[in-house]
Amino acid sequence: MSENVPKKMALIASKGTLDWAYPPFILASTAAAMDMEVKIFFTFFGLPLLKKNLKTAVSPLGNPAMPMKMPFGPKFFQNISWPIPNLVTSNVPGFESVATGLMKQTFKKKGVATIEELRDMCVEFDVELIGCQMTMDVFGFEKEDFIDGVNIGGAATFLEFAADADITLFV
Amino acid sequence: MTDYNEELDCSGLNCPLPILKTKKAVDKLESGQILKMVSTDPGSCNDVEAWSNRTKNQLLESGKEGDKYVFYIEKK
């Protein structure tokens, strides 16, 4: 352990899609691995990331910069970014599940951890996970819906820690 | 060729897994013991250095062996 006071990082995770779930868990687990003290405040659509049974998905609709790529076939084929019109992404039933499946497969092939793995690492490295009480009330979550060890709090709980944090990010 | 106590193979893993697994492996060592970590992620070159600077576990040596990156880290 370092003799110095550890650096602190305070994150707000406000989005729960597969793509937006990665940054807070990657940063938190890595910061903890770098001996920092880390707390993540999960609010609004970020709150479901604390659920025992994670169901993260990604939608190409409204994500115009998201490359649509295939996780199989020869390299040139995998590198093609498929131009899929909004008419298809928004109207073809099940398109979102397909896009989510393709992205998860691509991540797996490239050796990227799953959200569950990164979250487990955070717990193992003593990252404090704080669920937003107000969001729980609004969307009808109970503490039992979340993984063990989650603390519940509000804006003041986060700000008290964030006031002394060296890094503060809103994701 | 540096002597080492433990070896960790992070081949095929992408950011941030090599760092997370390195931290876990180093935690299990005694002070002064050396971990050899092997990875295929080009990003881990800068990342291992940054991690070692921050945690004060010393990066004794790093280099390329074939298509793999090799790091020797001494636990502080």
Residue B10 is a catalytic residue: no
DSSP structure string for B30-59 = PTT-EEEEEE--TTHHHHHHHHHHHH--EE
**Which domains, ranges and CATH numbers included, belong to chain A?**
8-55+115-170 (3.40.1260.10)
What is B6-74's CATH number?
3.30.110.40
Question: Over the stretch B23-75, which tens digit does the pLDDT of each residue have?
Answer: 999 999 999 999 999 999 999 999 999 999 999 999 999 999 999 999 999 99
Give A108 to chain B, closest Cα distance, Å. 9
Q: Which residues of A touch B56 (CB under 8 A)?
A: 2
A26 vs B contacts (CB less than 8 Å): 15-16
Tens digit of each residue's pLDDT, chain A (171 residues): 445 799 999 999 999 999 999 999 999 999 999 999 999 999 999 999 999 999 999 988 888 888 888 888 999 999 998 888 888 888 888 999 999 999 999 999 999 999 999 999 999 999 999 999 999 999 999 999 999 999 999 999 999 999 999 999 999
Token look-up 């992404």 returns A89
Spans of all domains in chain B: 6-74
Cα nearest neighbour of A109 on chain B: B12
pLDDT of residue A151: 97
ipTM score over 0.95, yes or no = no
Identify the closest residue of chain A to B47 by CA–CA distance. A30
Beta strands B34-39 and B68-74, pairing class: antiparallel
Closest C-alpha among A156, A122, A104 to residue A50: A122
